[in-house]
């Protein structure tokens, strides 16, 4: 059941800054905002990880690197290298996109091997497997959730936010059921108001990826129900 104080809402939010034209000033402001609101982490591309990690050291806010983002079409070896490099540069969480071409082509074994390889490279860091649910059938979603659970991943995640559609209540319900007690669910993509956020949390999401974190928390502070 959703609901709670604004601080508990903020602690669920992965605050994203994935724009290709963002500047170092933008990243500095993003980290300042994440610290002020006590978000779970900042979700960024690998290149600014070391910059943000320095700014966030000692704040309790994590640094999440988006790997194979947004298409998932780099090789497994590249994703493993990106993961190791991001962790060395200060990332504490890894969100990586599966190989959709392999999955849609029926090469499920290759998808499973890739998920295992990237999760292994994460070590003790939080790992999130991005499905990009808008392109998948329900059976494919369940299959990836089972693969992620078998790999020891921490989360399955709905979307990159760059696909044809973002998080839906139906997908979070399906993923939460498929994940069982082995995985947590992160909803991301198109989450801009408390009403939708509340529905996604009720459906089973325990992390929320959004670029509107500050506005959502402020709305909750003004009495908005979530």
Q: Which residues pair with 187 in a beta bridge?
A: 208
Catalytic hit among 141, 157, 171, 196: 157
- Residue pair 15/33 in contact (Cβ under 8 Å)? The answer is yes
- If you count them, how many residues does the chain have? 226
Residue 223: how many other CB atoms lie within 10 Å: 7
Q: What does the alpha-carbon distance between residue 29 and residue 35 come to, in Å, rounded to a whole number?
A: 10
Tell me, yes or no, if 104 is annotated catalytic: no
Q: At what angle do helices 24-37 and 49-56 cross, to 10 degrees?
A: 40
Helix (H) or strand (E) holding 3: none
Are the C-beta atoms of residues 107 and 140 closer than 8 Å to each other? Answer: no
Q: Annotated catalytic, 5?
A: no
Active-site position among 95, 128, 141, 171: 95
User: Hunting for tokens 């995640």 — which residue is that?
Assistant: 157
Catalytic residue positions, numbered: 95, 157, 186
């Amino acid at each position: 059941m959703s609901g709670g104080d604004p601080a508990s809402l903020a602690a669920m939010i992965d605050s994203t800054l994935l724009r290709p034209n963002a500047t170092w000033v933008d990243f500095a402001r993003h980290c300042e905002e994440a610290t002020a609101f006590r978000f779970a982490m900042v979700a960024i591309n690998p290149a600014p990880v070391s910059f943000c990690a320095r700014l966030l050291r000692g704040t309790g806010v994590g640094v999440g690197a988006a790997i194979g983002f947004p298409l998932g079409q780099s090789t497994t070896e590249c994703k493993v290298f990106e993961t190791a490099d991001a962790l060395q540069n200060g990332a504490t969480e890894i969100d990586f996109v599966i190989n959709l071409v392999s999955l849609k082509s029926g090469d499920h074994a290759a998808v499973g091997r890739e998920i295992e390889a990237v999760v292994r490279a994460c070590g003790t860091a939080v790992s999130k497997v991005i499905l990009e649910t808008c392109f998948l059938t329900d059976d494919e979603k369940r299959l990836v959730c089972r693969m992620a659970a078998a790999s020891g991943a921490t989360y399955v995640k709905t979307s990159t936010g760059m696909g044809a559609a973002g998080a839906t209540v139906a997908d979070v319900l399906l993923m939460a059921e498929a994940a069982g007690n082995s995985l947590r669910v992160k909803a991301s993509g198109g989450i801009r108001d408390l009403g939708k956020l509340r529905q996604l949390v009720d459906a089973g999401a325990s992390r929320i990826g959004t670029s509107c974190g500050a506005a959502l928390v402020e709305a909750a502070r003004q009495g908005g129900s979530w």
